[in-house]
């Protein structure tokens, strides 16, 4: 369970502070739930500056890093783990392009956001970052492995 490349692949998805403040929690969760992915972990938390820095450590040299850390730690986020076939790649398809101006309508950012600096959501960009991010934000016991009736009859 949770192994990338399997039907139970997992990805870390976060609703960023602007998504929470704009009242888009339910809308964003619905996109993933309606698509067929399974929610296996969920919590609201207010990231510290340190936690935001470690989350975005690979962007530390970017000119927008300081602003990004301030943005990500500016209020509570909704942290989630979603599971299913190709959850990482398809999750990013649901989010849309990083820059909402380039994100096509029908995607979360394409429908609900305008600015790259306020793009309302985050999704793991690959198998390694998914494993790393899930461990960074959730203790193992916070992730639930459970059957849905759906799992039994949708092929």
8 is in an annotated binding site: no
| Cα distance between residue 25 and residue 81, in whole Å | 14
Tell me which residues are annotated as active site. 122
10 is in an annotated binding site: no
Ordered strands of the 121-123 beta sheet: 38-45, 77-83, 10-15, 121-123
Nearer to ligand RTP, 107 or 119 (CB): 119
Contact string (CB under 6 A) for ligand RTP, positions 45-74, x = contact: --------------x----x---x------
Q: In the bound complex, what is the minimum distance in angstroms from residue 6's beta carbon to ligand RTP?
A: 22
Stretch that binds ligand RTP, among 31-39, 82-90, 112-120, 141-149 (CB under 6 A): 112-120
What φ, ψ does residue 91 adopt, rounded to 5°?
-60, -40
SS3 content of the chain, % helix, strand, coil (to 5): 45, 15, 40
Q: CB under 8 Å to 131, separation ≥6 — which residues? A: 4
Identify the DSSP state of 8.
T
64 is in an annotated binding site: yes
Binding site residues, ligand RTP, CB under 6 A? 59, 64, 68, 98, 116-117, 119, 122-123, 125
Where is the binding site for ATP, in residues? 16, 64, 92, 98, 109, 119
């Amino acid at each position: 369970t949770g192994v990338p490349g399997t039907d139970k692949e997992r990805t870390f998805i976060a609703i960023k502070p602007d998504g929470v403040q704009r009242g888009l929690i339910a809308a964003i969760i619905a996109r993933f739930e309606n698509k067929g992915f399974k929610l296996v972990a969920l919590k609201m938390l207010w990231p510290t500056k340190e936690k935001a820095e470690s989350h975005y450590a690979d962007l530390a040299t970017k000119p927008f890093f300081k602003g990004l850390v301030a943005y990500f730690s500016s209020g509570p986020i909704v942290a989630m783990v979603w599971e299913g076939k190709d959850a990482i790649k398809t999750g990013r398809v649901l989010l849309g392009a990083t820059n909402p101006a380039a994100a096509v309508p029908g995607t979360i950012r394409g429908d609900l956001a305008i600015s790259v600096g306020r793009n309302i959501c985050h999704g793991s960009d690959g198998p390694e970052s998914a494993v790393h991010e899930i461990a960074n934000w959730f203790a193992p016991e916070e992730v639930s492995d459970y059957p849905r009736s759906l799992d039994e009859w949708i092929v």
